[in-house]
Structure 1
Amino acid sequence: MTGLSSTEVQARIKRGEVNNFEPRSGRTYFEILRHNIFNVFNVMLFTMLLIVLLSGDFWTVLFAGFSVLTNSLIGTVQEINAKRKLNRLANLAPKHVVVLRDGQPQTILNKQVVIDDVILIRPGDRLVVDGEVIESDSLEIDESHLTGESDAVYKEVGDDVSSGSFCIAGTGMMRATRVGAKSTVNRLTTIAKAYKNTLTPTQKKIASIVKLALVFLTVFGPMVFISGWVRAESFLGIIRNTVVFTTSLVPQGLILTTILALTIGALKISRHQTLIQRVNAVESMANVTVLCFDKTGTMTRNHLAVREVIPLDTSYQLDEIEKWLQVYVHNLGHQNTTAAALARHLFNDQQPDDLPIKIREIPFTSARKWGAIVLADGAFALGAPERLLDEHHWGMSIVDDRASQGLRVLTFAKIAEPPPHAQHIARDTIKPMALIVIEDQVRDDIRETLDSFRAQGVRPKVISGDNLATVRAVAHYAGMQTQIAYEGWQLDDMTDAQLRDAVQEADVFARVEPDTKRRIVSALRAQGEYVAMVGDGVNDVPALKEADLAIVMNDGAQISKDVADIVLLNNAMSTLPLAFHEGTEITQTLYGTTKIFLTKNVYNTLLFIFVLFMSLPFPITPIQISWASFGTANIPGGLMALGWLRPARINIFRRDVLDYIITGGFVGAVGMALMYVVTYRYTNYDVDVSRSATTIFFILYSLSIYLFVCGIDVAQPRTYGRYPFATILTIVLTGGAVIAASLFPDVFEFVYPPFEIIVLILAIWLLCVLIVSVGMRNRAMLHQFYTLAEVTERDIRLYQLEEKGQIKKAT
């Protein structure tokens, strides 16, 4: 078989019969632009600003639109730049396929496949186009991604295969029949709109807050109109007030800085040879509490070597055993690392030509734990000792001894009756011939790597298909707790409750099959653990899909990389602690910017509600709130997202973020309302002076929030020297505001309040800062508030009974 010629390939390319359809792996440039600029909030705001502009109020449009538009443009530019850089980085892990062209195997990119190309299929390969099988050597295809059927399907010559499925065992060839947008997986991708934006925990919280803000806007927005109408304000004045309320309520700056922080985080992490395939995985790294991984390739180097071959049957000499081993290895359709180690030991790079040819092969899989070749006069199998040796066989003592040294042991046996596909071999037909002892060098840095994970609060767990004693020995060398360990058969016999207890108490699991790996991950997640799974093979795919964070080695099977959130380009788990640390830093940034923006939004919104109920004029103009917000929230938040500012340590969202938002927001709103009312009355109802006083308080209080986020408490002078850059930035921003207001009072709609009002502003501001500082150290009232929303065990039990239909659901 020669495949297509170069001329035939070029002809098909000219006809457009090429697999150049790229499924969406992220937001398109148009979607980035639409999400950042043409979103619901911006459309609503700019519609109101258009009305203001048509009324001739140019400065309001400039200031109110400047902040939002600047944030949107910065977010768009940064996300586009990051997308380009990440796309270039993704080229370091290209997706290839091997085809026959001009009679020679050629490795080409997936998108270069043309119709009628002959494609070689090997275990771990993901089929990139639809086709017809033209050669099959015990070819097993997993089509669960398309059909939902978990069992592999044997494919014979003439059978159709679909793109999106993958080979789990055996080898073969296929002829491409449908490529590009016409292939099955790409048609499904188009229908399902492949790009799915999975939110991180923090993004889910922010999304909930935005939804709540929109509800408030729906309720209180009309009240702004009604209040203005009752007060007989002009239509332009009502629209201006609505602009202020809208920009204050929706945390648009927070949404943009969140996207910016995650995108920049992905670029930072890429410096550690770690490709982020899903940007949201950046924050997921900081949430990981359990890290699951295989022994081979992670704890060891996966450079296998045969240490010894131990005969088990005296009727066979060692030379004869090795001859049959040569036959076995020579006939394997796919050379994995174990087969390659055997080949190096047996052939010394020179394979004889006179070896018998197999009739068929039963490929090794992680589920079977054995593989076999069938010859004209018998069959031979190679696999796990517990599959091919009786538990009382004298060779099991040797297996246990070598396994306790961290060595891997396989059994080679002759089979009297060739087994059918995918069935267990009858014990009475097995004649054990030898044990093969294989060593794999443990990585020198594995203990240090696992210690780094523990230091970050991540508990490592090894899940392997190898012998328990082997896994336990390697895990012990790596410094893991190995007293409690389980084998796959023990886990399979457990109830869900027992499994949940087992996966919590043990860190070592051996002889685990692919679906059991998935159950372990699922059981950990059911107990609230945030699970990361490191894998590289086809057998890891179910667990990778189940995990919160899927991490795959670059040399791993293509199907495992397809489902991965993160790809380790250098195939070394030792880079993960550095990447996890970067993820933690980015999460700190997200928490810090959330405190800055949401506290501002809470006290602004509450202030406006207080003023509405008191039937007072709106306390601030669109111009005033725009330039004040830009300087006190947008600039610090943007610098924090870029990594130029760092927030103080934040561990728990509710305690360290939500508590401050509630406390600082409520106290700030009360203090600002008090100051506004007193100023309004004291100045004989001078709304311009009162609004200017509100702006001054707004600037001072917002800057104190930003300083608190950076670890500087204005109420505690001893903290002033903690972060000189933050202090200097505060002075610059305050000075800039004073200078701008002094030079251009008409532009900024600013009127200097009397001296006594300045004193009042400073007094109320310091009082508010002091109350917030004390409140954050004594949170008894907040905790009383939280108890109202606590879910008791009785609530959970009643909910479960409702779901089971044992009690009537509440209406």
Structure 2
Amino acid sequence: MIQNASSHPGLTTQQVKERLAHGEVNSFKARVGRSYWDIFRDNVLNLFNIVLFTLLIIVLFFRDYATVFFAGFSVVWNSLLGMVQEMNAKRKLDQLAALAARDVKVWRDGQLVSIHSSEIVKDDVLVVEPGDRLVVDGRVLHSDALEIDESQLTGESDAILKNTGDTLYSGSFCIAGTGLMVATRIGKDSTINQLSAVAKTYKRQLTPTQEKIESIVQVTVLVMAVMGPMIFLAGFLNNVEFLGILQNSVVFVTSIVPQGLVLVAILSLTLGALSISRHQTLIQRVNAVESMAYVTVLCLDKTGTITRNQLSVSEIIPLNGLPAEEVSGLLRRYTSNLAFQNRTAAAVAQYMGGTGAPDVVKVREIPFSSARKWGAIVLPDETLVMGAPERLLCANGRVPDWVQSASEKAHGLATQGKRVLAFARAATAPDATQLEVQCEPLALVVMSDLVRDDIRDTLAAFRAQDVQIKVISGDNLETVRAIAHEAGIPVEQAYTGDQLDAMSDADLQNAVERADLFARISPDTKKRLIAALKARGHYVAMVGDGVNDVPALKEANLAIVMNDGAQISKDIGDIVLLNNAVSTLPLAFKEGKAITQTIFGTMKMFLVKNFYGLLLFTFVGFMAMPFPITPVQISWVTFGTVNIPATLIAFQVLRPSPMKRFRQDVLDFVVTIGLIGGVAMAVLYALVYLIDGQEKEMARSAITVFVALFGILIFWLIHGFDPLRPSTLKGRRGVAYLGVFFLIVTLLVPYALLHVGNAFRFVPPDLPVTALILALFMLAAIICSVGLRFRVLLNRLWELFAPK
């Protein structure tokens, strides 16, 4: 860090006040996930609501108030419930994000102070250090080997060396060196706020569950587009009055569209994020918790993730008979000239008793980077270099016996879990990218870092869920292997970065599948590793904390970062562990599983209704019969037997039976139960309509009763209770009684309103019709029970039509 401000003291207090008065302040508001407008739009102004409300407004002109009230009530219930809950959760998550935001360092009145990024004013002098994400545009006032990554703005991954006078852009970040900058463009004028694709658009990254829901929605839109006009055409051809056609369209939309499914999914994701945030975890992508349920590979960086990142120097071993005092003096000269002391340099400085002013001032600095694996201080008469033993002890093939002995010593220490750095000097300055000068090894710096107390139990919990653990580190292979062993990670196969870089993409994919540990990995190779795992069909979570982890974090399906890590890693992370405790991750995994179960359960309820509705309407259309149910009837029955139970599942008041696979546990259920229900309803409607002298009101009332009965059967089956198998009642009596309660309330209302305007147009079924309803319902229940237990035919169909 830059220690003084003799040349750039910064603004005075009076100058800051003047700029604040003129509004020249950096407007900033922490944001997590979607905006309030996004929430309102998705809950209220979605396609299904717009179509339905358009129809209801037209129906209103015909003064059919019952249809408008009952059909609209269900939609309003879903929309308001989802919107209110999600906005409430967003408010709490935004508050947590604001608390977690890191301050920036500025010079004011000649003093270095920390302020919130929203307090930056124009012409402020800011300190730039490795890991800092630039929040305003500016000009470089001082550069000490300052290297900036502008990949998020330009797409170019190479670091750019910035000199005095160069322009710095908000949205880029510092990867090495230090500097001072003066803020020139702030707030809405900064680059990051003018690039809408970066700053203003919420990045929409779907989980596998959300992708399935989106596919279902697309199919639904297609069905609406095809069958909607057909309903109008059939109505006109059959001389149905215009109000009747509109009512039929309302029935079709409310029956076919899974209007509550998307809302329940969003609500479940939001509540899950809020739940896990109580464990000192900031969720920056609302569906990140549910993503945890799909993780098949968890990649961990060693330093700061498996270990505590509290480095300390164990010993310094002089080489080639050099006096310890000489080595100590050179180490002090090296550390005192560093523009920025990372944790390694700080540990060395502390071991040396601190660093004062350098006795020899550097000419320039080549800061340490994970890609180079070394850093250098160029002095007037020599260059001091510190880095990986593999890079320094064998530079240019110079390996006399004492150097070979030092290399073997470093290897032996690494097998004990020690982190070993080599310290050397060169007569000439190296290039910034290649260490092509001859180095004289001076010493080995031996460091240690403790394994986190909670790491063993955490990783064991993931392995118990069949999640593979892979360690990716920039450290020495033997050091990482020893640390992995101490953390309880079995290592059967390991590779180094040099080995991986020599592999083709196909060989790399095979290697990442077999291996458990990867050492001496550069940032770009980390990214390539993650991409290879994804290409093998894995859902990958990456846990990291440093600038060197950024490419891999961006490539991973799920990015998890430590709160004390680099600011840029926190900015791109989906989950930030505020207490730096990886023990939170199994809780997030469990919560993600619960969210998936919730969405799958509600998906069954909505999609079965949509499927049997589609079959029933198709049958009635081909038979040229009147529409089988009125908007009021379908809206009320759906509200009582689908919407209310689905809401209880969404809030996890009720928990469906465990489901693991979407195709077998959800689609099989939907097709089996929906097909049986659709056929039974079509038979019932046809028989009652024809037997009762083509009296549609009696037939519609029969369908209303059957839909209520069948809806409760679905509710029971989803929760593992099969009324035809008494053994399934054990532990599910509450669900059984609750289903009976829903059924009674749902059917009581139509009967109660018989003599109050009869808005339901409900005709109580006589004894023969009631007997027919119960007989078909019992038959349907038996077939459902058998079909779910012996889904041989359906599985054969899946095998027949599944892509090879």
Q: Give the TM-score normalised by the residue count of structure 2.
A: 0.96
1:695-710 alignment to 2 at 5 Å?
Answer: 695-710=704-719
CA contact (8 A) 2:30 2:98 kept: no
SS in 1 for 2:599: helix
Counterpart in 1 of 2:455? Answer: 446
1:619 aligns with 2:631: no
SS in 2 for 1:441: coil
1:359-758 alignment to 2 at 5 Å?
Answer: 359-390=363-394, 393-426=404-437, 429-745=438-754, 746-758=758-770
**Letter in structure 2 aligned against 1:206:** I
1:764 aligns with 2:776: yes
Give 2:362's match in structure 1, choosing from 358, 363, 369: 358
Give 2:336's match in structure 1, choosing from 330, 335, 343: 330
- 2: CA distance, partners of 1:181 / 1:22: 12
CA shift for structure 1 position 285: 0.9
- 1: CA distance, partners of 2:43 / 2:358: 68
1:296 aligns with 2:303: yes
Counterpart in 2 of 1:801? Answer: none
**Letter in structure 1 aligned against 2:445:** I
CA contact (8 A) 2:701 2:764 kept: yes
Q: Which moves more between the two structures, 715-724 or 608-617? A: 715-724
Give 1:777's match in structure 2, choosing from 789, 794, 801: 789
SS in 1 for 2:309: strand
**Letter in structure 1 aligned against 2:432:** H
SS in 1 for 2:311: strand
CA contact (8 A) 1:23 1:189 kept: no
- 1: CA distance, partners of 2:203 / 2:724: 46
Q: Which moves more between the two structures, 462-471 or 229-238? A: 229-238
CA contact (8 A) 2:543 2:559 kept: yes
- 2: CA distance, partners of 1:344 / 1:666: 73
Deviation track 1:220-264 (CA, whole Å, cap 9, x = no partner) reads 112222222233221111111110001111111111111111110
CA shift for structure 1 position 483: 2.5
Counterpart in 2 of 1:795? Answer: none
- 1: CA distance, partners of 2:81 / 2:384: 65
**Letter in structure 2 aligned against 1:761:** I
1:161-176 alignment to 2 at 5 Å?
Answer: 161-176=168-183
1:150 aligns with 2:157: yes
- 2: CA distance, partners of 1:20 / 1:231: 63
Percent sequence identity over aligned pairs: 55
Q: Which runs of 5+ in 2 are unaligned?
A: 1-7
SS in 2 for 1:567: strand
SS in 2 for 1:283: helix
Task: Quote the RMSD (CA, aligned, Å).
Answer: 1.5
- 1: CA distance, partners of 2:538 / 2:472: 16
Give 1:120's match in structure 2, choosing from 119, 123, 127: 127
CA contact (8 A) 1:23 1:186 kept: no
**Letter in structure 1 aligned against 2:326:** E
Q: Which moves more between the two structures, 294-303 or 519-528? A: 294-303
Deviation track 1:407-445 (CA, whole Å, cap 9, x = no partner) reads 10010111111113222242xx20001101101011222
**Letter in structure 1 aligned against 2:665:** D
Give 1:181's match in structure 2, choosing from 185, 188, 197: 188
SS in 1 for 2:369: coil
1:786 aligns with 2:798: yes
CA contact (8 A) 1:21 1:181 kept: no
Report the CA distance shift for 1:353/1:333 in structure 2 as closer, same or farther (over 3 A).
closer
CA shift for structure 1 position 399: 0.9
Deviation track 1:646-677 (CA, whole Å, cap 9, x = no partner) reads 01100000110011111111111001111111
- 2: CA distance, partners of 1:264 / 1:26: 13
Counterpart in 2 of 1:310? Answer: 317
SS in 2 for 1:296: helix
- 2: CA distance, partners of 1:245 / 1:95: 52
**Letter in structure 2 aligned against 1:610:** F
Deviation track 1:132-169 (CA, whole Å, cap 9, x = no partner) reads 10101111111111122211111111111111111100
- 2: CA distance, partners of 1:209 / 1:705: 20
1:45 aligns with 2:52: yes
1:243-282 alignment to 2 at 5 Å?
Answer: 243-282=250-289
**Letter in structure 1 aligned against 2:226:** V
CA shift for structure 1 position 337: 1.0
- 1: CA distance, partners of 2:450 / 2:45: 56
**Letter in structure 1 aligned against 2:364:** R
CA contact (8 A) 1:293 1:461 kept: yes
CA shift for structure 1 position 108: 1.1
- 1: CA distance, partners of 2:690 / 2:238: 18
- 1: CA distance, partners of 2:561 / 2:301: 11
- Give the aligned length: 787
1:84 aligns with 2:96: no
CA contact (8 A) 1:711 1:722 kept: no
SS in 2 for 1:646: coil
Runs of 4+ in structure 1 deviating by more than 6 angstroms, as ranges, are: none
Report the CA distance shift for 1:657/1:354 in structure 2 as closer, same or farther (over 3 A).
closer
1:341 aligns with 2:352: no
**Letter in structure 1 aligned against 2:564:** D
CA contact (8 A) 2:378 2:429 kept: yes
Q: Which runs of 5+ in 1 are unaligned?
A: 793-811
Deviation track 1:257-293 (CA, whole Å, cap 9, x = no partner) reads 1111111010111122111101021221111000001
CA shift for structure 1 position 129: 0.9
CA shift for structure 1 position 353: 4.1
CA contact (8 A) 1:362 1:422 kept: no
1:4-43 alignment to 2 at 5 Å?
Answer: 4-22=11-29, 25-43=32-50
Give 2:222's match in structure 1, choosing from 207, 215, 220: 215
**Letter in structure 2 aligned against 1:578:** L
SS in 2 for 1:114: coil
- 1: CA distance, partners of 2:203 / 2:414: 45
1:321 aligns with 2:327: yes
